[in-house]
Structure 1
Amino acid sequence: MQNPSCILLLIYVNLMAFFRNFSLILAVATALACRGDGQLSPDFYASTCPNLQRIVRNAMSEAVDQELRVAASILRLFFHDCFVNGCDGSLLLDDTATFTGEKNAFPNRNSVRGFEVIDRIKSRVECECNGTVSCADILALAARDGVALLGGPSWTVPLGRRDARTASYCAANAQLPSPSATLPTLISTFAAKGLSARDMVALSGAHTIGFAQCSNFRARIYNETNINPIFAANRRGVCPPSGGDTNLAAMDLQTPNRFDNNYYTNLLTRGGLLYSDQELFNNGWLDWLVRVYSSRADAFRRDFAAAMVKMGNINPLMGTDGEIRKDCRLVN
């Protein structure tokens, strides 16, 4: 017959082994749960939709081939989505009889565009990976690819966002920066989203592509003195003192369809189209950074890519929050 003390020792050893194994299993499960719910990952769809990035890239390539301007439009969609309660695809939702979304808020109405491109990409993704990829993630990838297709930088896009079930008309009116914003207002607006002044200057370089409506720069070209007179005269040709509010002018007159650092060079010669553009270089404390980006395209490209990743991390829905929309324009 075994010694009782030996039996107790054996029980103790087995129990300790059990709890060690249980603790290990619990730690692994916790880590996996945190990865799924707590942070975005570039590999989020590696097993569930491995061809996602190729699908998005090909669709964006086709769209940009048809209209170069669409790259800037998608980039602006992403910015306007992220700045209103986070990168959750809320801007993509259509209004309904019982729901007023963000599309018709003042900064977006008759201005944001490119929704049909996101619709096409979503349709292709759904054909291959049904009910798997969020519209918010598709928008993040499409914005990156549009920039790269016009010669800009590329970057690794963390994924795993889910789609909002609602949107906020009021928040869109309140949270998006105005084209007439002063430098202190711009800095505080970006800071409220966790973005630094350096991020703000780098992200403003997105205005190296795309167009602005006359109503957003009329006051600058007719009323301001801090503007290159030749540049102002050129822009008056497309923007009369009254009327023509939706007439378009390229943000960068020299290379409107190339993602480069010419935006900053224009600021040095007082050729910023929007008041908020020229505020970045107006005898303020950020003048030095504009000079750096103007002379060093590599610094701009690096900082822009980093700021885009940072912006893409603004309050994403993850885990079981939100949903994966079947149609980017409608909640499920």
Structure 2
Amino acid sequence: MASSGAMVLAMMGLLAALVCPAAAAAAGFISMPTDNVGDHSYGVHATFCPNLEKIVLDKVAEARRWDIGVVAGLLRIFFHDCFPNGCDASLLLEPSHLYSSERARERPQNQGLHQGALDLIQRIRDAVRDAKCTEVSCADITMLATRQAIKLSGGPDYGVQLGRKDSIDPARIDQVNQFLPAPDAKIWKLIEVFQSRGFDRTDLAALSGAHTIGKTSCPNLASRTGDAAWFVEAIKMNCPGSWDKKQVLDVDTPDDFDHKYYKNIVDGKGVLSTDMELLNDPFIKDLVHKWATDKNFFFWKFGEAMAKMARLPVGGPSEYRENCFKRNSMRETVNLTAEGFAASA
């Protein structure tokens, strides 16, 4: 992951114009370098699961053909899992009497996770186990699926180090509340939260670019104001305040992961308040204007930020979950070895 910036430059097409799934599949799956960094490596699964990348690619391409929403769904799952507590698949765990009473999946920040994307992760898990690849975690699968979905949508190649295990505990409410900003957060709060996780202003601006694809729940627009009153009025009229109703995040190219998101912000057409807040910091505002006309620059920095997020440290007892949504039996998790504690990348 430390060399992810160089890898991003090699592909540069992050979340740009959607490509035909069949054509994208024909182009081949993302190849990975083999150098090791820390306790994780890019090629850790290459020996005992050589078909892992292709299994993931095939399943993601199939799902995306039927439902373009899985791309943004995977991105949101990746961010909401990794940003608060590192990439440990803790967000995937369904609440159970075996765990603490905390129900992070039910917090407002995590409501409306894309069911198709969640089901896709489990389908990949099943296919990987059918291929006798037992030591592949749901956390690694989520990262690989997200990366392939981005590339299939026209995005760049960026590296993710693999070799994680899955947390045996669900995501904690305090971390969700602390590290997943509200849709009406001010720029100072966004900067503060990202800095607390080791991300700078460039990372914040780049990761916000994920809003170039996907939809948001209509109640998230309640606090949206701005100079382009006509635009604010238009999206609110088209978006009743129900959690079941959605509004596209990029009103120009909603199904393409491109750099139009930044042009929309410059034009006053950012959908969320947090999108428009990017203009309230001079350094980030300058990036927004640059990326509005320079797709490759945005793709490069987005890939670096995604790779950086995948390196966030994790910790605590862990396992290779057979079902991504459920902890393995108590018998299997009681005698965890030191290797069972997810190490920091």
TM-score (norm 1): 0.83
Q: Is the 8 A contact 1:162 1:316 kept in 2?
A: no
1:270 aligns with: 268
Q: Report % sequence identity.
A: 36
Q: Is the 8 A contact 2:77 2:113 kept in 1?
A: no
Structure 1 CA distance, aligned partners of 2:277 and 2:291? 15
Structure 1 runs not aligned, ≥5 long: 1-34
1:136 to 139, 159, 179: 139
| TM-fit CA distance, 1:150 | 1.3
1:115 aligns with: 118
Change (3 A) 1:227 1:129: farther
- Does residue 206 of the first structure (1) align with residue 210 of the second (2)? yes
Q: Which amino acid aligns with 2:164?
A: R
Partner SS state of residue 285, structure 1: helix
Partner SS state of residue 157, structure 2: coil
- 1:97-136 Cα offsets, whole Å, 9 max, x none, are 3434421122112345421111111110111134210000
- 1:144-200 Cα offsets, whole Å, 9 max, x none, are 111111112221221111111112133222321211111111111111111111011
1:216 aligns with: 220
2:32 aligns with: none
Structure 2 CA distance, aligned partners of 1:112 and 1:284? 34
Map 1:170-249 to 2 at 5 A.
Answer: 170-220=174-224, 224=225, 226-240=226-240, 243-249=241-247
Q: Is the 8 A contact 1:93 1:101 kept in 2?
A: no
2:319 to 318, 323, 326: 323
Partner SS state of residue 40, structure 2: coil
Q: Is the 8 A contact 1:104 1:169 kept in 2?
A: no
Structure 1 CA distance, aligned partners of 2:175 and 2:276? 26
1:61 aligns with: 61
| TM-fit CA distance, 1:294 | 0.8
Map 1:1-332 to 2 at 5 A.
Answer: 38-99=38-99, 100-113=102-115, 114-167=117-170, 168-220=172-224, 224=225, 226-240=226-240, 243-282=241-280, 284-317=282-315, 321-332=317-328
The structure whose Rg is larger is: 1
- 1:224-270 Cα offsets, whole Å, 9 max, x none, are 2x242332232123224xx4343101000111111100000001011
Structure 2 runs not aligned, ≥5 long: 1-35, 329-345
Q: Which amino acid aligns with 1:328?
A: C
- 1:201-239 Cα offsets, whole Å, 9 max, x none, are 00110000000111101221xxx2x24233223212322
Structure 2 CA distance, aligned partners of 1:164 and 1:112? 21
Structure 1 CA distance, aligned partners of 2:104 and 2:280? 32
Q: Which amino acid aligns with 1:178?
A: A
Aligned residues: 289
CA-based RMSD of the aligned residues comes to 1.8
Q: Relative contact order: is structure 1 or structure 2 higher (C-alpha 8 Å, sep ≥ 6)?
A: 2
2:337 aligns with: none
Structure 1 CA distance, aligned partners of 2:315 and 2:136? 13
1:18 aligns with: none
